[in-house]
Structure 1
Amino acid sequence: MGAVVSSNVVLDEEIDTSSSTLQIWRERPPSSYSIKVQILSKLQSSTFFSDGKYQSRRFFSGGYNWRMIIYPKGNTKDNGGGFISMYVEIDSTSFVSKHQDEVYADIRFFVFNKKENKYFTIQDKEPKPFNTLRTVWGFPRVLPLDTFNNHKNGYVFDGDHCEFGVDVFVAPPPTKLEIISFGEKLPYPKFSWTRRILAHLRLFQWEERNVNWWLEKGCLGFGFDHFMSSADLRKSYLDNEDTLKVEIEFKAVSATKYSS
């Protein structure tokens, strides 16, 4: 269900570039959700019939509903035996209401330490994708149970109290999008019509001409006001009844769709 973290807890402000996770101390409490446990032993015993986990109430963050999941004795199914395991789960029905298939979120988990008066914080360095196939992300090894349960270390305090928390920062979907496609074929690329010439024309001297033009929304058209001389037109292109056959062919080179 999540990344495996080594038992060596990093307790400084430096980033370990060799690991995919970041572990630091932080004074500021979690902003998305917090669980303050008054009797830890009761929490540990209450999870016996729930596959060893405690699930919080739903909370709202970043436009979605979430739930924090804690394994106070470790998630053995995720190689978390002997550790505190922590996860966050997205409400999959949110995808239907928002017409989205996936959402990325930065997840940070917290365990309060009264001795330091700070929160031990662990997070992935990269946002995690949540979708209908993967609704849960987290860490099976947040803190070793021997470290956590030892009152001298400060994670369990005032008798049997402790606090867990999570921050969920949802990355907004792209609001501006451009899709370029090539080789598109127009259903009716060629047009032709016949007109009788009753007046002198002001046209240029070329028989045909290629036009490369980027057509955008609101564009009324494009062409040449000088295409062929009147003399050449009457000499070579009009029939006995002074009628002219005109033909135009369109070829789509590329097309771009925008979303803003």
Structure 2
Amino acid sequence: MKRRSHVGTYIVLTVAAIVSALPNLLVLVGSLRPNTEIVANPTGLPTSLYLGNYARAWEEGSIGIYFVNSLIVTLVSLALALVLFLPAAYALGRWQFRFAGLVQALFLIGLMIPLKIGILPLVQMYDQWRLIDNLGGLILVYTAQTAPLMILILSTFYRQLPDTLEAAAMIDGASPFRTFFSVMTPLMTPAIAASVILSIGPIWNDFFMPLVLLRNEENFTIPVGFSSFFGEYGVDRGMLFAGIVIAVAPVVIFFALAMRQIVGGLTAGIEK
């Protein structure tokens, strides 16, 4: 009976995986077909390996510019978030001070309140600060957006580290800052990887904030840049599919390479 239940589970998971992968496979196959073939037979297989869609997406569709903008915004936002929120998470996870629970609760509220609710005052403030149509302004928004999730993951992991580590560092004469940088944070690799990876998707794939805050096409990120692929009377599906593959490939590769760190970071506290 146990073996049969395992077989049934594998069948269900296999079917679910195929259903989930089918749209992605259609996009990948479509990116290797000329637009005329896609229009004639949307679900057909390519008769030959056609890479012209990728060249046109990169040059005519300006996907290269959008790709670089998305890369800059994502990397700088995550780097800035780590610089700001690692110390904050360490303080919340390791130090006992007044109103620590209230501060933690305020960060967690950010997981329940969408950032889009405050878009009107944000635009007004950015207009006064001349941050509209500026990648720096978009970076600040995404840095703040990552705060609740990063604080939750990192502070929880910091809290689970043994107190003997700090005690040993104190006996050796290490200051609190030296303990943070040299003793505790190097043990946080799984949690840092998990928080970074879970924050990449909402930044890389976001359409709303760049649409509202950016004006110049040279500053567009990939999701907003895709809107230029749609013409008034039609769309070049082959070029669109190639652009989607180019946009999704870095995230998929990064997830595949960091999967062990994701699982390690999310399950680190189970055995404690």
Same fold at TM > 0.5: no
TM band (smaller chain): under 0.3
Higher strand content, 1 or 2: 1
Higher helix content, 1 or 2: 2
Q: Could you tell me the TM-score, scaled by structure 2's length? A: 0.20
Larger Cα-atom Rg: 1
